[in-house]
Amino acid sequence: MGWFWADNNSKDAKCPVDHSKFKKSTTSSSGAAACPVDHGKFTKDTEKAVCPVKPNDDNILNPLNNMPALSNDMAPGQKIKLSTDRVYSSIPKGENNEEGVWEYPSPQQMLNAMLRKGKGQGIPEDAVESMVEIHNFLNEGAWQQILEWESKYTKETKIEPRLEKFTGRPNDLSPRASMYLYLSKIFPETFNSQPPFDRHDWTVLRSKGRNNGWDKIRYVIDYYSAPDDEETGMPSFVLDTRPAFDNVGNAYDRFVHWSGPLYRKAMGDKET
What is the per-residue pLDDT across 128-186, written as a single tens digit (0 to 9) for each? 999 999 999 999 999 999 999 999 999 999 999 999 999 999 899 999 999 999 999 99
Average pLDDT over residues 219-241: 87
Reported pTM: 0.73
Per-residue pLDDT, 47: 36
Average pLDDT of 206-215? 95
Residues with Cβ < 8 Å from 199, sequence gap 6 or more?
168, 169, 170, 172, 173, 174, 177, 220, 221, 222, 223
Q: Is the pLDDT of residue 37 over 80?
A: no
Which strands, in side-by-side order, build the sheet including 2-5? 2-5, 236-243, 214-226, 198-207, 162-168
Q: Please give the backbone phi and psi of residue 142, each rounded to the nearest 5 degrees, phi first.
A: -60, -40
Of residues 143 and 48, the one with the higher pLDDT is 143
In terms of Cα–Cα distance, which of 101, 81, 105 is closest to 93?
101
Share of residues in the chain with pLDDT > 90 (%): 55
Identify the CA nearest to 70 among candidates 203, 173, 168, 201: 168
Q: What pLDDT was estimated at residue 10?
A: 35
d(CA 187, CA 33): 40
Higher pLDDT, 139 or 63: 139
* Beta bridge mates, 214: 207
Q: What is the mean pLDDT of residues 77-102?
A: 94
For the cut 70, the answer to whether the pLDDT of residue 53 exceeds it is no
Bridge partners, residue 207, by sequence:
214
More confident residue, 201 or 271: 201
Mean pLDDT of all residues in 254-263: 80
End-to-end CA distance of the chain: 20
